[in-house]
A and B are shown apart, each in its own frame.
Chain A
Amino acid sequence: MVSGKGGTGKTTVAAALALTLAHQGRRTLLMEVEDRQGIAQLFDTAPLPYEERKIAVAPGGGEVWALALNAQEALLDYLDTFYNLRRAGSVLRRMGAIDFATTIAPGLRDVLLTGKACEVVRRIDKRAPNAYSAIVLDAPPTGRISRFLNVNSEVSGLAKVGPIRNHADLVMGVISSPRTAVHLVTLLEEMPVQETIDGVSDLRSANLPVGGIFVNMTRPPMLTSEQLREARSGTLPALAIERSLAEAGLTFDNQVVTALMHDAIDHAVRVDLEARETTRITELGLPTFMLPLISEGIDLGGLYQLANLLRECGVR
């Protein structure tokens, strides 16, 4: 499960993770649950249907498949599996019944979505031919993740007994087992880090398994610690810089020197802030993975780049 504050790139990290885990001929499934078609946009393909589709080939022959989950389709799926009701589905849909049932309670919605994920997981136990070696779920953002995964308590208010109750118990069994991990994606900025810290404590108090922290879009310091110190204390040697610029054949005015020194001060402030945020993340005591900013923007090439880095960090 991959969660994170909005704008931190959790879909990107989920996709890179699915690619990483698909190495050496393995098959992984990348799922999304929020009707955003984020996977299709990231892999630059047509919108995904409610159907497992091969979406990319991993280095070494592995395959990444994708599935865009949708609560209404999942309900029809569920009705079909347990009640043989698929044929009545289109009529029910026209009457607004499917819409009704999936909106009647978000708990039902969530249990249908996580339930589908668990069905795919359990194919492994059944040694089914369509099983995957890993399933990566691009989950709702940190603010909603505990509620989304804690289907048990969500459904408990709704159904005390009956099939959906049993279904929820089964789902909860998979989600809270060691085979599940909830990873959180963050940036080295105050708000996303705070949300990550809060998210970890929410997950822990709901007894949900916390995985690792993926620090996305990191930018390494571009100045040495000595240079940063000079920038901070305002003692960068303006005259020497001016002389060097002339040396490099740049025609310039004072504005250039001032701007370069100003950039350096800004950079020092950011490096300090990032160091503070890194400490706060480290204090969580969780496995942490640093992913660089891909300055060209994320396309398929960028995803492979991130996947390779994750492999080098020991993700497998």
Chain B
Amino acid sequence: MYAQEGSIADPLRVAIIGTGNIGCDLLLKVMASPQLRCESFVGRRNSSPGIALATSHGIPTTAGGIDALAEMADRIDVVFDATSAQDALCNWKILEGLGIPVIDLTPAHLGRFCVPALNLEECLDEQNVSMVTCGGQAAVPIARCFSDASDGGLGYLEIATASSSASVGPATRANIDEYAFTTQRATYEFCQVDTAKTILIINPAEPGIVMRNTIAVPASEKIDMEALRVSVDAMEKRINSYVPGYRVVVPPVAVDDRIMVTIEVEGLGDWLPRYAGNLDVITCAAVAVAEGRAEARR
């Protein structure tokens, strides 16, 4: 057996399926959480770098995929799904039948959207929680600030996200349309807006650019700028409680034809270098949900 550092007597037993960038970063964050214990790190190839990472930390692994995970159902309280939108759907069909709750980090959107800064408490009893997308976790809270500072809702809002090439893995690249739709749907769910649009840019510069998101509305929208400033400031602090590297780099400003806010997310540098805040913003959010469940059952 193994012991994870600083774990409490009765931690929530979790499994992670998906051993790519998201899965690996998530594993390191789960290991750092005293309230969680990783029972299994589930992949499909024994030779994957993710399996090697888990093994090096003494975490049990399997390359048997969802079938292997299903066999250990009685030992798992919660599954993090860090595969792809398509695989998450297949996995959910099996896990739902077994009664195992899932925190879904793919853009599959099979359950209730959760952005911890906006609705963590409401999601703790859900069987399937959708963590939206990395861009959604970073930008939707600010979109909500715009919506709250508007006069009864927005006509149009857009989110432009840029992430470094090295941090955008094959599953995200294959799911690029799902990424857009899911981010937009979450924007509609959490904000009062008629039309939302997302743009995702993958930037190849080396060293990588820090993940950045610009949230903008046309200058013609009626926005109480002072209310927006106060609300963005408060939101930054709320998100910092679970994503320490989240920061506003361009506070609310009216420029040209738009009112915009730019935020950056620097990661902890657990799996990929610190620029890859797109991993942290969703893995930290997912850990916050699991920790919330751990506390709720106490």
Q: Do A and B come from one complex?
A: no
